[in-house]
Structure formats: C-alpha cells, structure tokens
Amino acid sequence: MGNRVHYAVEMNACKSLPRPEYPRPQFVRHDWLCLNGEWEFEIDQGDSGLHRGLLERPLKERIVVPFCPESRLSGIGNTDYLNAVWYRRVVTIPKAWEGRRILLHFQASDYDTFVWANGAEVGRHRGGMTPFVCDLTEAARSGEAVTLVVRARDNARDSMPSGKQAWTHGNGGCHYTRTTGIWQTVWMEPVPLAASLLRPKIIPDTANGRFLIEQPVFGAQTGLRLRARLRDGAEVAAEAVTACGVDFTPRVELTVPPQRVRLWSPEDPHLYDITLELLDASGAVVDEAATYAGLRSLSIEGMAVKLNGKRVFQRLVLDQGYYPDGILTAPTDAALEADIRLAQSAGFNGARLHQKVFEERFLYHADRLGYLVWGEFSDWGLGGREAFQGWEKTDAGMVQRSGNHSGTDFPPGYTAQWLEALQRDFNHPSIVGWCPLNESNQRMAERITSHDDTMRAMFLAAKLYDPTRPVLDVSGYSHRIAEADIYDSHDYTQDPDAFAKRYSAGGIYRNDSAEISSIPHRGQPYFVSEFGGIRWNPATTKNAHSWGYGDDPKTLEEFYRRFEGLCRVLLEAPHHFGYCYTQLTDVFQEQNGLYTFDREPKFDLARIRSAQRRPAAIEAV
C-alpha cells in the first residue's frame, strides 16, 4: 500500500496511548478516535454485577486497554478464573462529528460482550477473536460526553472456542495463560448519516489482470453511485463507476494496465492502493475510504499448490501469537512486524497462524513483507471441559489417554464466528489457505454427530465465502470431508531416519489410532503441518514445567542434526507442497521455539536457514 491515507490516519492517533495505530488497515477512513488507555475496571467473579449495580456506579480499579486483565501490561495481572469483568469510561464525542452516525468498534473482546452507552444497551457480541461494532447515534450526541460501560463474560470452563487458553487453573503442557475481556483496540469513527460504505470484498483476477470489487452499502438508495480508483504509486492506473441499487451489491472491475501488472509474491509483495467513493446524484462525495490489494492467484495442480501458476514450497513455521507481557496482544505494532522478520531471518517464507485469529495489523505487515500465512480458527474448547479430561502432562508433553481436543459433540453455531473471521480477512493477499479446526479426534462412529455437522458447516462456509483459496477440513488427526482441498498430518517423530522411512518414497502419513480415524487421502496436495517441536533450553531441561516433543537433544550439535535431518526429509519428499515446523518462539512453559519467549535467538540462524535452502522436490517437477 502506498500508505498516503494510512499514514495520515496514524498521525491522528495520540502517540502517548498504547497501541495507537489505526486498527483496520484494509478499510481506512480519515476521522477516528482511539479509545485505548485507562478505563475503570472491576472483576465480577460471581457474574452478579448487573444485579449489584455495576452498570450505574464507578468501578473500583483501573486497567490499561487494550491489554487483558491477566497481562502485566494491563496493570492488573490477575491470572485466576475471571468469570466476568466490567469496564467503564466517559468519552466526549468530537463536535466536528455532528450530523453523522457514531460507530463504536471493538476489534476483539473475549467472550460474551455487552455494551451500554449512557445506560442504554447498544450492542452485544459472542466470540473472542473477531471485531464488532455498536451504533451510538441514538445514545450519544457530538460535542457531549457519553458514558460507556462494557461487561465481558468468559467462564473458561464452559464450551467455547478459546484456542490455547488454559482450562486448568494454571498453565500446563501446550495450554497457556487465559485472556478475558477486551484485548484489541477500542475506537470510534463517524460515518455519513444516510448511507455509507461497508468493508468491500476484493477478488484478484490474475488471468485478466484485474480486481473485482463487491462493495456493500449501508442505507443504499436510488441515485447513489460507486466510484473506485486504483493507484500504482501516485498515478491513477484504473477507474470504474457503477450505480448503487437498493436490491443488489454494487460491483466494479478495475483492470490494471498491462505495463503495470505486478503479481504479489514473497519475492515482490507489490500492493495497489484503491480509493472507494460513494457519490450522490450530483456527483458529490457522500463517503470515502481507502484500501489496498495484491494481484495474485492460488491454484492446485495434482499434489502441488501453485502461487501465480508457479510451484512455491511453503516453508512454514507455527506461530501462536503469544507475548510474555501482553499474552494474546502484542505490546506494540512493531512487535507484530518483528515476529514476521524473525521467521524470515530463520529461513521461513510463511506461517501457520495457530489457534488464534491474529490481529489484523499482523496481516497488514504480512501483506507488505510477502509472508505466506494460513488463517485458522481458535476451535480448541468447543467440546467443553470434558474434551481435555483425557489428557495428561508428561515429560514428553501432553499425552492423550482418552478424550479429544475439539470434543465429540458440540453445536454448529460457532460457524458464525468463523464467518466473521473470513469476512474480516478475505482481502489480505498474504493468506494462502484456511483451516477452521485443529487436531479434531474422532472415531468413525455409526452415528453422525454434531462434531461432523460443525466440521462440514465450517468447511462449506469457507468454500462458499472464499472460492479463491484452498480449505483444509482439519489440521491433523481426523479428516472427515472428502472434498477438502488439502490433506495433512501432524508428525512429531524425532528420529530423521524413521522420518525418512515414512516419507522418502512418496508416502502419505495418516494420523490413525483407536481415538483418531480419518478418511483416506484421495490424491489432493499434502503436507506435514506440524513437525519438530524439539525442546532446547538447557537451563530448564530438568524442569517438569518445561517441555517439548520427544527426547531432548544432548548437545546443541545434536539439535542441529535433528532439525536438518527432519527438514531434509520433507524437502526431498516428492509429493509434499510444504511443511510447518513447531515453532517460532517458546510460549511460557513450552520450550521448543527457535527463539525464546522474549524473542531472543536460541540458535545460529544461518545454520537454521541453510537447512531449509535446498530446493524442494515438488518445485523441480
């Protein structure tokens, strides 16, 4: 993105606030107000606050938003179960916003969130990973103060998609400190009163060198028109205008001049700026917003996944997006970008974003830096507390005795939250695939369970909303969707020789056991989407709270040999389109990262890069 509008917007943010940068880089308006910073706060352990008058009175503590109360950066640092929490703040609506609708945005709040303005409920949202908006127009006036009150309910032991948040009181195995309530930016913006632009859907068409834009309009009415302009640098390279009817979503095509066609790729992450304008019958601009797009294609040929018609081996690293001081929230925007650069410095060209819908700013940096990512939903926890009762923590990690990660029977309503993630992130060219579920363990039963319904619903939702990217039904373990675009496995075998026997002859490994049953591979592209996980932290090797997969290497040289051997096997496997190494950084007690939790390198990065530089077999076909 040329960032002329983007940078101007960021200048409006108060740099003394935490996380002051514009939170929605894929759909930018000039006027906005960041509400991060100090709020009143109170823990409501019995979830009785509404009955006790917390809606009407000041709250007892202070918290720094957008950091969750479990984090150090919030100023609270309470890691106990927090069944409900309350926030309160008085905000003055800018006088300059008079005559416009006032929208209050929450980029993410975990899990059931209720919002009041001057005592009137203005919104509620279920889900901990996706944004939502409240309309304050009827409850607040420009130039006047409005009292905002927020309640977030988050009983961590209920059935809900919570990703890697711990179910037990403390951290254990691959489950980490919980996040409750607001954990991404809170902000406000004014929009035109009668009609305004909503987030567009931008579809790249590389075959014809163009972008197809579907632009929904709030309050669409006869006489309105949509004008879209594409810029390559400072010059307008394409323009299109269309009518905005009340009975359809406006669509325009922006064709890039042949001499200006540059395909987005890791080597050349070129982005085009796009300006969107809503015009009235006289041609006056009613509303405008800025966005950007990358012109790139994804396709499947046999067992290869192609980027812009070329075989590109996906050297991915597992990234869980946790931070020592902010937990799920990066302490700064620069920290998001830095994690991408850490992965690239280690030789990876992308990441599997694991059990978390990452902050949208992360994807913005991935777009700019040419970093390939798989979008994933935070599904762990859907089956309720019982889903984890069969897991035991051992020196080798979390070992399954019975039960499963994603549960055997859960309602399909969580597809709505998955659709919100798809809608938010569709336009990011860095996203090269979708993964709604992770490590779902299912026996092949005689009856069809709600688990099967949910898996199919989430798969179909992704395919229907986004036919441009491959969709994996589940990462690892129990594959159940025959038409899934991708097939994968998780394989933490630590011996490179045993690893080679499994894959070097073109073998396809299927996770299978008494608890895990999958339909067979049917020839679609295949990769090992989790491997490695080698623990290395000599200072904590004997600590029962520190773990990784398999036996610890005895020496640093043994680690290198194991890492190099495992990577070599998968790079030489003739039918693999990529791999994903576990993992980028240590996360609390899980000590198997290439970097420490504080983002310090643990290894010689030149040697880690070198292990991944050999050409992949599938690229040579």
**C-alpha dihedral, 403 to 404 to 408 to 411, nearest 10°:** 130
* 390 confidence band (pLDDT: 50, 70, 90): very low
Does 235 score more than 80 pLDDT?
yes
The pLDDT, as a whole number, for residue 3 is 46
Query: Quick one: average pLDDT of 479-498?
Result: 96
The pLDDT score that the predictor gives to residue 223 is 92
| Range name among 353-357, 514-518, 572-576 with the lowest pLDDT average | 514-518
122 and 228 assigned to the same domain: no
Please report the pLDDT score of residue 2 as a whole number: 47
pLDDT reported for residue 419: 97
Cα 266-267-272 angle, rounded to 5 deg: 75
Q: Are strands 201-205 and 210-214 parallel, antiparallel or unpaired?
A: antiparallel
Mean per-residue pLDDT of the chain: 91
Does a structural domain hold residue 341? yes
Shared-domain flag, residues 366 and 499: yes
Q: Same structural domain for residues 81 and 217?
A: no
CA distance to 205, 260, 500, 592, 612, per residue, from 495 (Å):
44, 49, 9, 16, 18
- Give the pLDDT of residue 516: 85
Report yes or no on 251 lying in a domain.
yes
Q: How far is CA 2 from CA 8, 230, 234, 367, 396, in A?
A: 11, 11, 8, 12, 48
202 part of a folded domain:
no
**Which letter does DSSP use for residue 248 in this model?**
S
The dihedral formed by the CA atoms of 485, 486, 487 and 490, expressed in degrees to the nearest 10: -150
Q: Which of 293, 319, 352 is the last residue of a domain?
A: 293
Overall number of domains in the chain: 3
Is 373 within the bounds of a domain? yes
Say yes or no: 28 and 165 in one domain.
Answer: yes
181 lies in the same domain as 260: no
Please give the residue range of the domain that contains residue 269: 210-293
Q: What is the dihedral of CA 415, 421, 426, 428, to 10 degrees?
A: -150
- From 134, 163, 192, the end of a domain falls on 192
Counting beta carbons within 10 angstroms of the beta carbon of residue 60, is it exposed (0 to 12), middle (13 to 18) or buried (19 or more)? exposed
Q: Among candidates 297, 322, 285, which has minimal Cα distance to 196? A: 285
Cα separation, 65 vs 71, whole angstroms: 11
Contact 35, 14 (CB under 8 A): no
C-beta atoms surrounding 596 within 10 Å: 14
Q: Are residues 485 and 552 in the same domain?
A: yes
pLDDT at 409: 54
391 and 500 share one domain:
yes
- pLDDT category at 191 given cuts 50, 70, 90 is very high
Overall size of the chain counted in residues: 621
Mean pLDDT lowest for which of 126-140, 154-168, 201-215, 234-248? 154-168
Answer yes or no: do 232 and 331 share one domain: no
CATH code assigned at 179: 2.60.120.260
Same domain, 304 and 289: no
pLDDT digits (tens, 9 = 90+) for 66-99: 999 999 999 999 999 999 999 999 999 999 999 9
Q: Is the pLDDT of residue 521 over 70?
A: yes
> What is the Cβ-side half-sphere exposure of residue 218, based on CA atoms within 13 angstroms?
15
Q: Do the domain assignments include residue 183?
A: yes
pLDDT at 561 over 60: yes
Identify whether residues 138 and 245 lie together within a single domain: no
pLDDT score of 120:
97
381, part of any domain: yes
Q: In the predicted model, is pLDDT for residue 532 greater than 50?
A: yes
Residue 308 has pLDDT above 70, yes or no: yes
Mean pLDDT of all residues in 203-225: 96
Residue 542 has pLDDT above 70, yes or no: no
Distance set, CA 94 to CA 101, 448, 538 (Å) = 12, 55, 56
Arithmetic mean of pLDDT, 610-615: 95
Q: Are residues 554 and 437 in the same domain?
A: yes
The total of other beta-carbon atoms located within 10 Å of residue 606's CB is: 11
174 in a structural domain: yes
Q: What is the CATH number of the domain that holds 239?
A: 2.60.40.10
Q: Which of 163, 192, 221 is the last residue of a domain?
A: 192
Report pLDDT digits (tens) over 151-161. 999 988 788 88
Distance CA 482, CA 426 (A): 24
Q: Among 126-135, 171-180, 446-455, name the most confident range.
A: 126-135
Q: Which two tokens stand for residue 413?
A: 């309503």
CATH of the domain at 483: 3.20.20.80
- Note whether 565 and 553 are within 8 A (CB): no
User: Does the structure show a pLDDT above 90 at 16?
Assistant: no
> Does 198 map to a domain?
no
Please give the model's pTM, rounded to 2 decimal places: 0.94
Residues 288 and 303 in one domain: no
The rounded distance, in Å, linking the Cα atoms of 152 and 164 is 19
The CA distance from 15 to 11, in Å, is 8
